[in-house]
Structure 1
Amino acid sequence: MAGVAISLFSGAGGLDLGVERAGYEVRAALERNPDACDTMEKNFDHLASPVIRKDILETSTEEILDAAGLKKGKHPELLVGGPPCTPFSKSGFWLDYKRAGLDPDASLLQAYTRVLAEAKPRYFILENVYALTYNNKASRPAFERLLREITAAGYTFDRQVLHAADYGVPQARPRLFILGAREGEPTPSLPDPKRGGRWERRATGRADTPHVTAGEALAGLVTDPEPEEIVGGKYGHLLPEVPPGGNYLHFTAERNHPDPQFAWRSKYWSFLLKLDPEKPSPTIQAQPGPYIGPFHWENRRLRVAELKRLFTFPDNFELVGRRSSIQAQLGNSVPPLLAEAVTRALPA
């Protein structure tokens, strides 16, 4: 039997898909969102038990191990999970209480380290937003506490911010990964980039193998129109004029627009942002506003099948819920291709 893996904060299962492609078998999953639970059960039919549909703060480690079919005294080979990142995400820092580190969801990092210390897996993978590493009063204390707790649980580790596009994902998506092993095992190292290109005005990854572009990822994909894809309202009529790769700044005096609609840098950068088929997609958010991109270069919202391609989910992967729920499940997920690369960095 393949090494047993336990998944916390499973979401739609992007991290789990990568873990299984790398040779492990996810036997227990914990997730509190009903649609995400249904998605997991629809696509992971080999779980030893149904998805644990509970808040982790109300779930004992013993219950999780029992769900995996592990008898008392047995340990999983691998623990994986990405605690929800709201307290430390860049998009959340405009809220005073989050900048002050007072968001109650921050305690979910401690829920992960509690299970780590009690389940004693051979290896673990923890994923989170890269803003957790920022040197500010919200992130810095939480990050330092997290690392102390991992060490106190008896683990050595490597930690890095990995850019998904550097690993073949057609999306610019930087994420923090911590990859660790129980003391006595060799300390694993996170994988080197496989591709490279430009990201936020700087070179990233390998220069000899370019990033996969959105155009390459969506090539040959046949999709049906979706009712939610039309961009209407106050600003929807502006989208066709935005060039591929552009955003609302196209309509500013600084860009020499004859009829400026916006002041320079008056909106968030993804406002009216459009995909460039010659580049990876910008980061796709879980809960975008009505004018937040990336939008398709055909002047519409991305369809579900296109979102799956840009996250490297299989075309036949079934997502459960309304369109907004599916967007959230994908926007919160780890691209499976990136997860696979990280997992394969573990010793055999």
Structure 2
Amino acid sequence: MRNKVLSLFSGCGGLDLGFKKAGFHTIMATDVWDVACKSLELNNVADEVICGDVRELDLKKYKGKVDVVIGGPPCPPYSQTRHYLVDKVGGFQDEKAGFAVPEYFRAIKEILPKMFLFENVDGFTFKTYKEPMEFVQEQAETLGYNITYKVVNAANYGVPQTRKRFICVGLKKEIGSFEFPKETHSEKGENGTKTWVTCGDVMSDIDTITEEEKLQRPGSKDYELLLQIPPGENYLYFTEKRGHPNPLFKWKSRYWTFLLKLTPDRPSWTIQASFSNNQGPFHWRNRFLRIEEIKRIQTFDDDYKLAGDFKEQWRQVGNAVPPQLAFAFAEQIKKYL
């Protein structure tokens, strides 16, 4: 009998796909965005897909029916970019998503699963967000869970992307304490691990550029600069510190992703949730990435269906937990059930 999962803040189903491949069965998945819910339905992610505000869900009815609760509450309240938005407050005070982490733990309180997996951006651990981190610890203790947490790099689990994420796993105290799955990859393949999976490894068979793509101008007004940037570099290539003879930018004066270009020789940097004309990563052939490419960078199957237009599909993939990362944790979680 397969272990049963309830999925919150499911997005297009990255966590769910990883757990499904590890033999779990999702009985309910939910998201507030109708486009993401359509993707969940297109891929038969769960027995039931509920599209709506998590605050309005009756979760008590799932008590005793679920082994694991999984979910990644919306991350903007805890992102690094929030530090640059002086007119916006982060954490629990965020006007759009500050409620999400407390709602996640309302679910834990009302369902009392054997285990839970909570995912967010690495910024969740910053001292700036002391209140949410303490809340997670207090809730786990009150509800009778041992928690294990740290920031992991998805590339160390075979994902072709150096994507850092906060993962917290809770086990009912009578079960024990969770041990994180052993990392399978590293940058140089040290200590018995494989070397990181690179962009070239997963994109070489579609390393082309169409006539239509040649007419596009990634980087917008800075397109000509993008053409000069070597693969694996960004706008810092044009700084005095990097030895450029005619510096155009001051050191760290822009977002890291400004004019960022992939290289086939290493994993991608984090795929962002919003598509941009001048924020990368861009392809080393000086073009925008395709949806099929960011799906591979995020380890979605090629035939995984996405609802919506181009930008909506990009947002879904960029927001997702890489299924390969989810699979590694799901395989480890099985050992405790």
Same fold (TM over 0.5): yes
Q: Which aligned pairs between 1:275-314 and structure 2 lie closer than 5 A?
A: 275-314=262-301
Give the Cα–Cα distance (whole angstroms) in 2 for the partners of residues 54 and 231 of structure 1: 36
Q: Which residue of 2 aligns with 1:68?
A: none
Is the CA contact 2:209–2:287 (under 8 Å) kept in the aligned structure 1?
Answer: no
Q: In the TM superposition, what is the alpha-carbon distance from 1:205 to its structure 2 partner?
A: 7.8
Q: Which residue of 1 aligns with 2:22?
A: 22
Is the CA contact 1:274–1:294 (under 8 Å) kept in the aligned structure 2?
Answer: yes
Is the CA contact 2:209–2:285 (under 8 Å) kept in the aligned structure 1?
Answer: no
Q: In the TM superposition, what is the alpha-carbon distance from 1:258 to its structure 2 partner?
A: 4.2
Q: Which aligned pairs between 1:165-244 and structure 2 lie closer than 5 A?
A: 165-197=155-187, 206=191, 208-221=193-206, 225=210, 230-231=217-218, 233-244=220-231
Is the CA contact 1:197–1:206 (under 8 Å) kept in the aligned structure 2?
Answer: no
Q: In the TM superposition, what is the alpha-carbon distance from 1:207 to its structure 2 partner?
A: 6.7
Q: 1:115 to 1:174 in 2, by over 3 A?
A: same
Q: Which amino acid aligns with 2:89?
A: K
TM-score (norm. length: structure 1): 0.89
Q: 1:130 to 1:255 in 2, by over 3 A?
A: closer
TM-score (norm. length: structure 2): 0.92
1:320 aligns with 2:307: yes
Q: In the TM superposition, what is the alpha-carbon distance from 1:56 to its structure 2 partner?
A: 0.5
Q: In the TM superposition, what is the alpha-carbon distance from 1:101 to its structure 2 partner?
A: 5.4
| 1:67-107: CA deviation from partner (whole Å, max 9, x where unpaired) | xxxxxx63301110000011111111222342575213122
Q: Which amino acid aligns with 1:120?
A: L
| 1:199-223: CA deviation from partner (whole Å, max 9, x where unpaired) | xxxxx98574211111112122477
Percent of paired sites with the same residue? 36
Residue 57 of structure 2, aligned match among 56, 59, 71: 59
Is the CA contact 1:193–1:205 (under 8 Å) kept in the aligned structure 2?
Answer: no
Q: 1:271 to 1:222 in 2, by over 3 A?
A: closer
Q: Which aligned pairs between 1:1-348 and structure 2 lie closer than 5 A?
A: 1-44=1-44, 47-49=46-48, 51-62=49-60, 65=62, 74-96=64-86, 97-99=88-90, 102-104=93-95, 105-136=97-128, 139-197=129-187, 206=191, 208-221=193-206, 225=210, 230-231=217-218, 233-346=220-333, 347-348=336-337
SS class of match (1:29): strand
SS class of match (1:344): helix
Q: In the TM superposition, what is the alpha-carbon distance from 1:302 to its structure 2 partner?
A: 0.6
RMSD: 2.2
Give the Cα–Cα distance (whole angstroms) in 1 for the partners of residues 39 and 180 of structure 2: 29
Give the Cα–Cα distance (whole angstroms) in 2 for the partners of residues 257 and 160 of structure 1: 38
Is the CA contact 1:170–1:310 (under 8 Å) kept in the aligned structure 2?
Answer: yes
**Which deviates the most, 163-172 or 235-244?**
235-244
Give the Cα–Cα distance (whole angstroms) in 1 for the partners of residues 106 and 78 of structure 2: 20
Q: 1:207 to 1:134 in 2, by over 3 A?
A: farther
Q: Give the number of equivalent residue pairs.
A: 331
Give the Cα–Cα distance (whole angstroms) in 2 for the partners of residues 275 and 16 of structure 1: 28
Which structure 1 segments of 5+ residues have no match?
A: 66-72, 199-203
Is the CA contact 1:195–1:206 (under 8 Å) kept in the aligned structure 2?
Answer: no
Give the Cα–Cα distance (whole angstroms) in 1 for the partners of residues 279 and 84 of structure 2: 17
Q: In the TM superposition, what is the alpha-carbon distance from 1:168 to its structure 2 partner?
A: 0.3
